[in-house]
Amino acid sequence: MTNKIEMNRPIVEMDGDEMTRILWSSVKENLLLPYVNLKTEYYDLHVSNRDKTDDRVTFDAASAVKKWGVGVKCATITPNADRVKEYNLKKEWPSPNGTIRKILDGTVFRAPIMINSVKPAVRYWKKPIIVARHAFGDIYDGVAIRFNEPGSAEITYKSTSGHDERVKYPDFKGSGVLIGIYNIDKSIEGFADASFKYAIMKKVDLWFAAKDTISKVYDADFKEIFRKIYETRYKEEFARLGINYNYYLIDDAISRVVRSEGGFVWACKNYDGDVFSDMVSTAFGSLALMTSELFSPEGYYLSEAAHGTVQRHYYKYLKGEKVSTNPTALIFAWTRGLKRRGEIDGLKDLAEFSEKLENAVISTIEKDKIMTQDIAKLSEPSVSEHVTSEEFIAAVKKNLEKSLRN
């Protein structure tokens, strides 16, 4: 083996739970440490350690991403009542992803990993569709009332300087429900900015869709913020790269997405992103073939797998049974983080290594037809045999070494 690839600055490593924790360390051991002088600042987000530190470790890990710019994260348990019992926790700690996202003010971009033998359900799709979800406000932070008689309601806004504004709902003729939602320009700007930056990084078009014809104040605000940021910050760069920014009405966007070849970033409002990211990822194949990258306007970056800790497989693993959990998305969490570190620090070798490792994974599945059970089910032509996670990682290692020798 030639010399190991050097790094100058660390990436923040957040370890996680269950099956993904097992695979995380195997990926490191087999696919990274032999080739890279890996520098990481390690934070153990195992649910027991979050409990022990009163969740301090999650906050520290997020702050470390602010310091070093780049982080990679393993999947983590978001505790519910069952988990509190299972791990003897002090309480149901909040979702680490929620905590980290709030601290970094990021937008999450989910993209499918394209494998030729795993065909999207939509036959026109040839290139990835990346869904960018605005993860703040709207119905996720709304207030609501259920009323049981006819009546009326209004919304009152009071500014801190003492100015009032009121709007009335139509009179209610019977029982029903009402809701009040909001968003903040600064958050929408961050979302728009991160979406434009991501499209530039990937050199693909950006779509944003909303319903400003009906929602003439609310959605129109989003539309206008996207337009302004495009005109003032990114129009020239888009022209230089030959990519486009398009605003569509949301219903028009849906039919365009299905008829498209893919190959664009689709920026979605919070609810649209929640719903359509599941639709798009399912139509592309599998959560285990999905990257998830958090990208903030300040340039902080965090990559992880889109799936959870794969609890069901972990229980089999604990019983000593063979498991065939797909480590692809976890490997890509690492490669994307290392690639980003390499790009920021000008380490060409590191960025190239990441690409070679990604290609080694893809050719293991596509050319060698070696795969875990989840993809074996989807593959065309179908394959009858599948391998364990460890066998898959060993096959990837072989391909990686071949390409590192060239």
> Where do contacts with Mg ion occur on this chain (CB under 5 A)?
274
Q: Which two tokens stand for residue 229?
A: 């940021």
Q: For residues 274 and 390, which CB has a smaller minimum distance to Mg ion in the complex? A: 274
Site of interaction with ligand NAP (CB under 6 A) = 75-78, 97, 287-288, 304, 307-312, 325-326, 374
By a kind-dependent CB cut-off of 5 to 8 A, residue 274 interacts, out of Mg ion, ligand NAP, none, with Mg ion
For 182-209, the DSSP string reads ---HHHHHHHHHHHHHHHHHHT-EEEEE
Q: Which two tokens stand for residue 221?
A: 């605000």
The alpha carbon torsion through 63, 64, 66, 67 (nearest 10 deg) reads 130
By a kind-dependent CB cut-off of 5 to 8 A, residue 210 interacts, out of ligand NAP, Mg ion, none, with none
- Nearest distance in Å: CB 274, Mg ion: 4
By a kind-dependent CB cut-off of 5 to 8 A, residue 195 interacts, out of ligand NAP, Mg ion, none, with none
Q: For residues 75 and 362, which CB has a smaller minimum distance to ligand NAP in the complex? A: 75
- Nearest distance in Å: CB 323, ligand NAP: 9
By a kind-dependent CB cut-off of 5 to 8 A, residue 78 interacts, out of Mg ion, ligand NAP, none, with ligand NAP
- Nearest distance in Å: CB 307, ligand NAP: 3
Q: For residues 189 and 274, which CB has a smaller minimum distance to Mg ion in the complex? A: 274
Residues contacting residue 153 through CB under 8 Å, at least 6 positions apart: 145, 147, 168, 169, 172, 178
- Nearest distance in Å: CB 331, ligand NAP: 10
Q: For residues 75 and 400, which CB has a smaller minimum distance to ligand NAP in the complex? A: 75
- Nearest distance in Å: CB 86, ligand NAP: 10
Q: For residues 147 and 271, which CB has a smaller minimum distance to Mg ion in the complex? A: 271
By a kind-dependent CB cut-off of 5 to 8 A, residue 102 interacts, out of ligand NAP, Mg ion, none, with none
Q: Which two tokens stand for residue 184?
A: 């903040």
- Nearest distance in Å: CB 187, ligand NAP: 21
- 3-state secondary structure (DSSP) of residue 131: strand
Q: Are 28 and 77 in contact (CB under 8 A)?
A: no
- Nearest distance in Å: CB 244, ligand NAP: 32
Q: Which two tokens stand for residue 271?
A: 């609810």
Q: DSSP alpha helices (H): ranges in 242-288?
A: 250-259, 270-284
Q: For residues 142 and 150, which CB has a smaller minimum distance to Mg ion in the complex? A: 142
By a kind-dependent CB cut-off of 5 to 8 A, residue 293 interacts, out of Mg ion, ligand NAP, none, with none
Q: Are 326 and 288 in contact (CB under 8 A)?
A: yes
To which H or E segment does residue 70 belong?
strand 70-73
Q: Which residue has the tokens 């050097």?
A: 6
> What's the one-letter identity of residue 71?
G
Phi, then psi, of 215 in degrees rounded to 5 = -95, 80
